[in-house]
Amino acid sequence: MTTRPFRHECIVIGVSAGGMEALQKVLTVLDAGFSLPVVIVQHEAATSGGFLAHFLAGKCALPAKQAEDKEKLVPGTIYVAPPDYHLLIENDRTLALSIDAPVNYARPSIDVLFETAADAYGRALAGVILTGASVDGSRGLKKIKDAGGLTIVQDPQTAEASYMPRAALAAVEVDYVLKLEEIGHFLSAL
Amino acid sequence: MIQSVPDDPHSEQKQNESIEIQLLLEAIYLKYGYDFRNYACASIKRRIVRKMDLENIPTLADMQHRLLYDLDFFETLLMDLSINVTEMFRDPSFYKALREKVLPALQGTPFIKIWIAGCATGEEAYSVAVILQETGLYDACRVYATDFNEKALQQAKEGIYTAETIRQSTHNYKLAGGAASFTDYYTARYDNAIIDQSLKKNVVFSDHNLVTDSDFGEMNIIICRNVLIYFNRTLQDRVFQLFHTSLPPGGFLCLGSKESIGLSEYADRFDHIIPREKIYRKK
């Protein structure tokens, strides 16, 4: 059997209720030299105007922006799904948007991002489920696991809303269950 | 962390799957003439796989066989592969800009032709019709709303929408600067609402495929929103060329709020006139 050097190439994060604070805690740990793209779906109201990307850009050492259609993923950049669009990753590692029907009552949906990212990156993907009150993301995290990727779920006891992490833990035999404050450090070592 | 690991067993499976999807789209094109080969891959794959899940079709090879031999099945798939807009006045700020910035620039034009490209089941066409009524331009306009999907066009012509669609649309209508009561534009029947005849009379729904058909005349405004996100760059450029040919100098092109002509070779042939919206004017 041949072996070859391996490292992760992309991180996807799904988060819902309580997301702004949780994301801030995780992403501010990553320093300016961090070299993986981080792609985020947060459930946001269609009318929010996409505040989250601005918020993260102001807090993080890494550049943060709202994801654009056909945009090439750049290392060390944080991408946030625009409200009312699904965010997908194509096999050529560009971003894509769609207005397909909501999935799990959500658009953007975490499952849509995670499933397409698993297709694009296979085992080179790390998927993270944070706080939330939805089942969205469980199916996607399962797909990441099945494709050989790394799966991480926030310890429900440290989650503002524990439903989503619990649902993910029930659906997937995840690789790591971490406290919120541990997740950033863990990701920065990938 | 860099570590040494064996070859990824999933990568061959992924490659095979990608080949099978391409073959499936090729089969649709050869058999039925609908060309999805230059659609953005991730979305179309999701739609195909969702259909397979719903119908308990185990493999892409089975899917291909089924759609070749079963016309009724293909028609339901075609509906699933069409782009469906589910509400009126999606992105209210666009309609506000249409009302306040675009249409006033065409005041005095004797006959205004508006093309809604990729109209699906008609929600956007009727939204535009409402704005035309409220700006007093309706009788000077003809709206050509086109789609490749005949079933969707049939629904569009009927103009019957669910109470849920109407509820959401009413909210958006107000945000879009709606000047009247939205209830003036439909008649409620049980759980549905039918669009008023006065909105329908100058709206012509017809069959046109952006991927394979050529232009059909000069337009003053082209509205094509949230269609191009489903196309790859090659196909986007084809469509931009089609739109460029169909507009006179000064004609308006309106795209979805997450779409842009910016990266295409046609970028410098249009002025981006309303920065917050994707509204362009041909030079």
ipTM of the complex: 0.90
Residue B2 confidence (pLDDT) above 80: no
Task: List C-alpha distances in Å: B150 to B34, B112, B204.
Answer: 12, 26, 13
So which residues of A are the catalytic ones?
Answer: 16, 43, 136
Count the neighbouring beta carbons within 10 Å of the beta carbon of residue A102.
15
pTM of the prediction?
Answer: 0.92
Average pLDDT, integer, range A89-103 = 94
Report yes or no on A1 lying in a domain. no
Question: DSSP letter at B86?
Answer: -
Beta strand residue intervals within chain A, DSSP E = 3-6, 10-15, 38-42, 64-66, 78-80, 86-89, 95-98, 125-129, 150-154, 176-178
Instruction: Please name the residues in contact with B159: beta carbons below 8 A apart, sequence gap of 6 or more.
Output: B122, B126, B194, B195, B199, B200
Give the side-chain half-sphere CA count within 13 A for B263.
13
Alpha carbons B152 and B3: distance in angstroms, whole number: 52
Residue B5 confidence (pLDDT) above 80: no
Nearest to B114, CA basis, from B154, B126, B231: B126
Nearest to A81, CA basis, from A119, A115, A52, A47: A52
Nearest to A115, CA basis, from A80, A142, A85: A142
- Are A37 and A124 in contact, with CB atoms under 8 Å apart? no
The H-assigned helical ranges of A28-162 are 51-59, 110-121, 138-146
Lowest mean pLDDT, pick from A44-53, A71-80, A176-185: A44-53
pLDDT digits (tens, 9 = 90+) for B31-83: 999 999 999 999 999 999 999 999 999 999 999 999 999 999 999 999 888 86
Alpha carbons A163 and B123: distance in angstroms, whole number: 36
| Beta-carbon separation of A82 and B259 below 8 A | no
| Beta-carbon separation of B229 and A116 below 8 A | no
Residue A108: give the domain boundaries: 10-188
Nearest CA in chain A to B5: A3
Checking B198-202 for CB contacts under 8 A at 24+ apart, the result is B198/B133, B199/B126, B199/B129, B199/B130, B199/B133, B199/B159, B200/B129, B200/B157, B200/B159, B202/B129, B202/B132, B202/B138, B202/B139, B202/B141, B202/B142, B202/B143
Report yes or no on A78 lying in a domain. yes
| Beta-carbon separation of B46 and A85 below 8 A | no
Q: In what order do the strands lie in the sheet with A10-15?
A: A64-66, A78-80, A38-42, A10-15, A125-129, A150-154, A176-178
Instruction: Please name the residues in contact with A2: beta carbons below 8 A apart, sequence gap of 6 or more.
Output: B6, B7
| Beta-carbon separation of A123 and B8 below 8 A | yes
Average pLDDT, integer, range A53-63 = 94
Is some CB atom of chain B closer than 8 A to the CB atom of A121? no
Q: Which chain A residues are closer than 8 Å to B260 by Cβ?
A: 68-69
A1, A95, A98: best mutation site toward chain B, by most B Cβ within 10 Å? A98
Our separate counts of H helices and E strands in chain A read: 6, 10
For residue A29, give both structure tokens: 């740990």
CA dihedral B90, B94, B98, B101 (to 10 degrees): 170
Q: Which residue has the tokens 């709303």?
A: B145
Backbone angles phi, psi at B270, to 5 degrees: -130, 150
Report yes or no on A4 lying in a domain. no
CATH at residue A172:
3.40.50.180
Question: DSSP letter at A101?
Answer: P
Report yes or no on A98 lying in a domain. yes
Report yes or no on A24 lying in a domain. yes
What residue type is assigned to position B199 of the chain?
L
Alpha carbons B224 and B243: distance in angstroms, whole number: 10
Q: Is residue B71 exposed (0-12), middle (13-18) or buried (19+ Cβ within 10 Å)?
A: exposed
Average pLDDT, integer, range B15-42 = 95
pLDDT digits (tens, 9 = 90+) for B147-198: 999 999 999 999 999 998 898 899 999 999 888 899 999 999 888 999 999 9
Residue A1 confidence (pLDDT) above 60: no
CATH 3.40.50.150 fits B92-282, yes or no: yes
Number of compact structural domains in chain A: 1
Residue A2 confidence (pLDDT) above 70: no
